[in-house]
Structure 1
Amino acid sequence: MRSKSHHLFRQLREYRFLNIFLYFILGAVIFAALYSNIKPETLDVELFSLSDQTIYAPITVEDKIETERKQQEAYDSVEDQYVLRREITDKQVDLVSSIFDTIIEVNEESNSAEKGKNKTLPIEEAKLKSLQKKLTSSINERIPENVFETLLAAKNDELKMAKDAVVTAVNNIMSKEIPIVQLTEAKNQVHEELQYAPLRQDILKSATELGKFAITPNYVFDLEATEIKRQQAVDNVKEVQIKQGQIIVEEDELINREIYRKLGLVGLLDNEKSYKPFIGAGLLILLIVAAIIYYFEKLEKQALKKNNYLLLYCLIFSITILLLKIVSLFQKIDYTYIGYVVPIAMGPMLIKLLINERLAILTSMILAVTGSIIFNEGVTGTFNFQIGIYYLFGCLGGILFLGEQNLRSKILQAGLFVALINLIIINAVMLITNGTYSNLETGSYFIMASVSGLVSSVLTIGFMPFFETGFGILSAMKLIEYSSPNHPLLRKILTETPGTYHHSVMVANLSESACEAIGANGLLARVGAYYHDIGKTKRPRYFIENQMNIENPHNKLSAQLSKNIIIAHVTDGVEILRKHKMPKEFIDIAEQHHGTTLLKYFYHKAKETNDAIYEDEFRYPGPKPQTKEIAIISIADSVEAAVRSMSNPTPEKIEKLVRSIIADRLQDNQLNECDITLKELDIIAKSFCETLKGIFHSRIEYPELNKKQKEKKS
């Protein structure tokens, strides 16, 4: 029944829809954790009632009504702009000049008419009528007739002098600004300008009247400049905002219409529903899940392993988020900074140990963001950046401290390191914010930071066996445990088949260095190589490395029987490993490390007595190597045995042998079912040669020993 349910669970994990379902669950877990923290706060308050608490603005928002009011004030405060119009001065000077010219012209015409003795009217009256016809009606209406009569009676020389004096006076007076309110004062200045002119009294009086007529306001209202100034004043008004954290109403203060309006503006009234925070949270969660999807969909693993890792990740992430949410509930009882005690580093440390370091770093950033939202009680904004930074550095500290040495003792040390990082970050935040903290507060922060790091390591150590067993994860820590010589199976190999044990250690050394050279799992290859020949413990004396001072038993057996004994060590090894519930990776290595290679020695021995023998009868049952690690162990197994059998190995001979074995595997199609490349095979060959040269290096021939050997021979 148990095997049936396990098979059902395995099939379920292989289904394609499972990963989609898990991504959805992951997003739902994050949204559920953030919901209460992003939900807009609403208050049940009434207009003209007293506030029972001090209310702060939860967000920053523009107060458009207040902004518009200030803009209108700025607009109205700008005075009208005036400008000095030089063209008005020129126009009035020309006007005065043309009036005098017209008077001179009328006088000249009158003189001509007098010579022709064409008299119909008196001369003075005729001149006045002629002048009035030549001037505009507005001039005639505004200048008295006696002024014209006096000027018409003057001589041309006197008129020219009067003209120059009046033009100069008008030009001098109107060169200055003359607003309309100062017009009378400006007109009175004409008399001062003309009083010293060399003119007869009656002509001076008329010229003065004409000058006063010419003076007009030249400092006039400038509509365009005024509008520009007013627009500048409006633009200079800063946007009025209700700042996040700003006090809107004090406790026991009357909620008037203005305060009530502001409460509605920041969304604190029941009738103001806002969905923007939920949309923003949805976008954030979408980005987080997209990053996780990108990582897992890029994994070059089978669907079963990929779903297995994804399910494990969802479980670890959900547990960590649940811890955050549970601890955050204590914020309601005035423990605002209780978030510092959360063992947040547990999640990334577990992910680093069981899955991958890159995913652990990504998770650290996700937890820092979500944690800063979950623990936003007591801060004016949605994000508590202080605790977000605290979580980020604590998680990264735990991940980086673990490094590649995934020992259980290292986890406890990582917890201490996380505690140290937490203390440093809290100190940094306290100093940067320049706040005032009591000794009790400071001590509480330090205790919570220390507890967070230590509990993270304890929980990591506690959860590790459950996840490793439940998900069949062969972590680096588990591999190190399996590599211990005190393991029952390794002790069995060492005591019952010492030659095989030495062979396995040599294969492990070769495999690990080659795997690391091409980026494969070197630790898996090393530990798996220790167990690859465990099947030889069933009949140890039938394998040459264990035949110490005994006759080879195969000399008395037929080739067929010897072949069966040799091939059986593969199936025997698989059986032993399964019996001891060893990891599937080790079982695959034991089962596939010979692939379907040919037992050449016994095949040729059988061919000597029977030509009807087929190669397939003397091949291992397989399957062929499915992974790079198994392919490398397979080649290393043959290389180590071949080099050990060489009488006088040299670097050149070793390299030639290594490359010939690799070429033979390629020709025999033994590497067709794993994704190893020719370039990687070349790197593997070089790695094997380097390792073997270090093992089979030339040694110094000691003279004394050499002399004794010669004497013995003689």
Structure 2
Amino acid sequence: MDRSATASARNEAAAGVDDVSGRVAQGERVVARGEVLDRGDVARMEALGLAGGANPWSVFLGVGIVVATEMWVAWYFLERFGKRILKGKTAIRVLLAASLLILFTALARAFVLLSLPYYLIPLAGLSILGTILLGPRLMFLMVVIESVNIGIIAGNDFFLASVLLLTSGFAIYTVLRVGPRTEFLWAGLLIAVVTGVVTFAFALIGGGGLQAALGQGGIGLVNGLLSLMLAMVLLPLLENAFNILTPQKMLELADTGNPLLHKLLSGAPGTFTHSIQVGSLAANAAERIGADPLLARVGAYYHDVGKLEHPYYFIENQIGRANPHKSLTPALSARIIKRHVKDGLRLGREWNLPQEVLDMIAQHHGTTRIEYFYRRALEDSLGGDLAGVDVREADFRYPGPKPKSKEAGILMLADSIEATVKSLDKPTPKRIEDIVAGTIRGKLEDGQFDECQLTMHEIHETGEAIREALIGFIGPRIEYPQAPAQSKPAPARGSTA
């Protein structure tokens, strides 16, 4: 049976029947106790609200029990898994989840009021959006709740609820590992086909003929396409409105053709090269310990964009140039070096970088001491022009904060180790291993990981992954022999040199 077509035919038939009016005077007896009722008596009683229809209070009680159950399940789920699925921006994520539920419930209600086919309700669009923006675990909970609610709204149609639950669950699985937006499009088309097949199958289960089932399958296919279009329109709007970093956004930021990275390449080429290499180290380490390798890479690419403001005060950009720090006091040099973090945050906000990347810019040095200039200041305070000048350690420390996320902690290690190894004239595996161990020990003793989510095991695994990658980068090189010097031809006899 085609439920949607049946409901539509009933509505059309009812609209073609002329209204029958009657009058009941105040105090007039409608029927007497024990009297046999005819159709006219029943119609009068129903019009007066004395018979027929469900008891609104019992309906209200049933809906209340369902809603209370849904809320209890949601509370238990968030209590059990909330820390894992609401990593950071908890209030924003909860607000977004509630907004999506309200939006799709209102959309389903609009389909019912407009007498549109219920199987066109694009709940898979909620799955696509929610999985990308909020993650699969929270999305599955939302899909279960919304499928039940839509089934109730559509006149307790639990065939419809089952179809929506299956197709929306498949949508969660499909977009879970989608990368670029072109892959997103193909995933959406696959969801549309599967929605059509599932709707066709449930139409057959409902007892409909093959032709009616094919019609329902066509409606399911349109549902999937509508869900895809809805998700593609809303995704960029919700990304920007809630400032949520999605895999698609991270892939765009990881593209070295990104305008800000291109500006970094032009203005501070040494910093650009350092950032790309640190990105590879950080992504490799993040994958080793189960952190987000794409976020680690993107954060590393942008962590030093603040050096664009004063590129030649940083050693990697001084090739063929004089070192301007030679004419500055250690305290002033440290102030300029520290400033690249503040400048990076300002530039990041101007270029609308996501908050997760801004956090990594702010935290990648933590509150570490700028060791080179601090030691120079101590030496100068013992003799020379700055003899007797008080050296305050706080003037030579970065402002922080310390790393909070795993990815920020990985970036701190990768950044420090890569820079130290690059300063070696002849890096060897043993020297690299010593630098990795010394860097980790120094950061731990300095308390830089006190606020970080990394465990001790993960910190050492991160160091091991960075060590292996650096040894792979350097690798053995063939030392090519120099070409023999060409001897000058002997002067001809009788000539002078």
TM-score normalised by length of structure 2? 0.81
Q: Does 1:479 align with 2:250?
A: yes
Q: Matched residues in 2 for 1:422 and 1:339: separation? A: 13
| Correspondence for 1:516 among 280, 287, 290 | 287
Deviation (angstroms), 1:635: 1.3
Hey, what does 1:241 align to over in structure 2?
Answer: none
Deviation (angstroms), 1:49: 4.4
Deviation (angstroms), 1:712: 6.1
| Correspondence for 1:351 among 125, 130, 146 | 130
Hey, what does 1:602 align to over in structure 2?
Answer: 373
Deviation (angstroms), 1:273: 4.0
Deviation (angstroms), 1:303: 11
- Which whole-Å deviations, capped at 9, do the CAs of 1:303-323 have from their partners, x for residues lacking one? 982121111100011111111
| Correspondence for 1:292 among 67, 74, 79 | 74
Q: Does 1:413 align with 2:183?
A: no
Hey, what does 2:24 align to over in structure 1?
Answer: none
Hey, what does 1:567 align to over in structure 2?
Answer: 338
Hey, what does 1:645 align to over in structure 2?
Answer: 423
Deviation (angstroms), 1:661: 0.3
Deviation (angstroms), 1:271: 9.6
What pairs up with 1:18-29 in 2 under 5 angstroms? none
Q: Matched residues in 2 for 1:269 and 1:282: separation? A: 24
Gaps of at least 5 residues in structure 1 are 1-44, 53-253, 256-262, 377-381
Q: Matched residues in 1 for 2:87 and 2:264: separation? A: 35
Moved >6 Å (runs of 4+): 301-304
SS in 1 for 2:123: coil
Deviation (angstroms), 1:425: 0.9
| Paired residues of 2:132 and 2:176 also in contact (CA < 8 A) | no
| Paired residues of 2:200 and 2:216 also in contact (CA < 8 A) | no
Give the partner amino acid of 1:417.
L
| Correspondence for 2:102 among 300, 318, 326 | 318
Q: Matched residues in 2 for 1:271 and 1:600: separation? A: 81
RMSD: 3.0
Deviation (angstroms), 1:442: 4.4
Q: Does 1:531 align with 2:302?
A: yes
Find the structure with the greater CA-based Rg.
Answer: 1
Hey, what does 2:225 align to over in structure 1?
Answer: 454
Q: With a CA cutoff of 8 Å and minimum separation of 6, indicate the structure with the bigger relative contact order.
A: 1
Q: Matched residues in 2 for 1:303 and 1:594: separation? A: 22
| Paired residues of 1:504 and 1:533 also in contact (CA < 8 A) | yes
| Paired residues of 2:197 and 2:217 also in contact (CA < 8 A) | no
Deviation (angstroms), 1:357: 0.9
Deviation (angstroms), 1:433: 4.4
Q: Matched residues in 2 for 1:630 and 1:433: separation? A: 54
| 1:271–1:535 distance in 2 versus 1, CA, 3 Å | closer
Q: Does 1:368 align with 2:152?
A: no
| 1:279–1:691 distance in 2 versus 1, CA, 3 Å | farther
| Paired residues of 1:419 and 1:450 also in contact (CA < 8 A) | yes
SS in 1 for 2:320: coil
Q: Matched residues in 2 for 1:616 and 1:432: separation? A: 74
Deviation (angstroms), 1:492: 0.7
Hey, what does 1:668 align to over in structure 2?
Answer: 446
Q: Matched residues in 1 for 2:54 and 2:427: separation? A: 87
| Correspondence for 2:197 among 424, 434, 454 | 424
Q: Matched residues in 1 for 2:420 and 2:124: separation? A: 49
| Paired residues of 2:171 and 2:191 also in contact (CA < 8 A) | yes
Q: Matched residues in 2 for 1:607 and 1:415: separation? A: 63
Hey, what does 2:474 align to over in structure 1?
Answer: 696
| Paired residues of 1:573 and 1:590 also in contact (CA < 8 A) | yes
- Which whole-Å deviations, capped at 9, do the CAs of 1:384-426 have from their partners, x for residues lacking one? 3322221122112222111222433333223211211112112
| Correspondence for 1:549 among 288, 301, 320 | 320
Q: Matched residues in 1 for 2:426 and 2:469: separation? A: 17
Give the partner amino acid of 1:543.
F
Give the partner amino acid of 1:506.
Q
Give the partner amino acid of 1:635.
L
Between stretches 640-649 and 318-327, larger displacement belongs to 640-649
Q: Does 1:656 align with 2:434?
A: yes
SS in 2 for 1:345: helix
Q: Matched residues in 2 for 1:683 and 1:713: separation? A: 53
Q: Matched residues in 2 for 1:488 and 1:330: separation? A: 47
| Paired residues of 2:404 and 2:452 also in contact (CA < 8 A) | yes
Percent identity among equivalent residues?
35
Q: Matched residues in 2 for 1:693 and 1:276: separation? A: 72
SS in 1 for 2:369: coil
| Correspondence for 2:163 among 371, 385, 390 | 390
What pairs up with 1:674-685 in 2 under 5 angstroms? 674-685=452-463
Q: Matched residues in 2 for 1:515 and 1:661: separation? A: 18
Q: Matched residues in 1 for 2:473 and 2:415: separation? A: 15
Gaps of at least 5 residues in structure 2 are 1-29, 383-389, 488-497
| 1:709–1:564 distance in 2 versus 1, CA, 3 Å | same
